[in-house]
Amino acid sequence: MIRRLVALSTAALALLAAPAGAAVTEAPPVDPAAQRLAEKYVPITMLREQRDPPCDKKEEQYQPTSVETVLGNPTVTLTHEEPDGRLVDVEKAPTAADIAGLRDGYYLDYEGKVLGDTCVYARAFRQLVAEGKAPAITYAHVAREPNHDGFALQFWFYWYFNQFNDLHEGDWEGMQITFESNTTAGALEEEPSEVIVFQHAGGERADWEDGKVQKQGTHPVVYPAAGSHATFYDSAVYLGNGQNGSGVGCDNTSEPLRELRLRPVLLPETAPERGAFQWLSYRGRWGEREKGYNNGPTGPVTKTVWREPFAWMEGQRSTSPRLPGGSVVGGPVTGAFCGAVVAATDLTHLATKSRAAAIGVVAGIVLALVLLFGLTRWGPIDLTQLRTRRAFGQILRTARRLYRHHWWPLIPIGLIAFPIVGGVKLLGEAVANGRGVDDTAGRAGVHLAFADLLETLGPPVAYTLVAAIVIVFVRELARGHRAGVRDSVRGMLARFWRVVAAQLMVTFALLLLLLTVVGIPIAAWKYVSWLFVQQEVLFTDKSIREAFRGSSALVRGRWWHTVRVAGVLWLLSVAAGPLLGFALIFTGFDLVWINLLGSVVFALFIPYVAVGQTLLYFDLQVRAEEEPVQKRRLLRRLRPSPATS
pLDDT value at 454 more than 80: no
- Dihedral of alpha carbons 143, 145, 146, 148, sign: negative
Predicted local distance difference test score (pLDDT) of residue 455: 73
Helix (H) / strand (E) containing 499: helix 496-515
Average pLDDT for residues 250-273, to the nearest whole number? 96
- Which residue type occupies 149? D
Q: Give the residue with greater pLDDT, 634 vs 347.
A: 347
Per-residue pLDDT reduced to its tens digit, 155-167: 999 999 999 999 9
Burial profile 464-492: b = 16 or more Cβ within 10 angstroms, e = fewer: bbbbbbbbbbbbbbbeeeebbbebbbebb
% the chain with pLDDT above 90: 72
Predicted local distance difference test score (pLDDT) of residue 642: 47
Sequence ranges of the domains in the chain: 36-314, 333-434+445-629
Mapped onto helix, strand or coil, the DSSP state of residue 266 is: strand
Going by the DSSP 8-state scheme, the letter that residue 30 receives in this structure is: P
Predicted local distance difference test score (pLDDT) of residue 596: 87
The dihedrals phi and psi of 251, each to the nearest 5 degrees, come to -95, 125
Predicted local distance difference test score (pLDDT) of residue 582: 84
- Whole-number Å distance between alpha carbons of 361 and 623: 35
Q: Of the given ranges (150-154, 414-418, 493-497, 579-583), which has the lowest mean pLDDT?
A: 579-583
Q: Give the residue with greater pLDDT, 621 vs 53.
A: 621
Predicted local distance difference test score (pLDDT) of residue 434: 61
pTM of the model: 0.80
What's the chain's average pLDDT? 89
Contacts of 142 by beta carbon, 8 Å cutoff, 6+ apart: 31, 34, 37, 151, 152, 153, 154, 184, 269
Q: Give the residue with greater pLDDT, 2 vs 564.
A: 564
- Whole-number Å distance between alpha carbons of 147 and 290: 38
- Whole-number Å distance between alpha carbons of 338 and 249: 6
Instruction: Reply yes or no: is the peptide bond before residue 220 cis, omega within 30 of 0.
Output: no
pLDDT value at 357 more than 80: yes
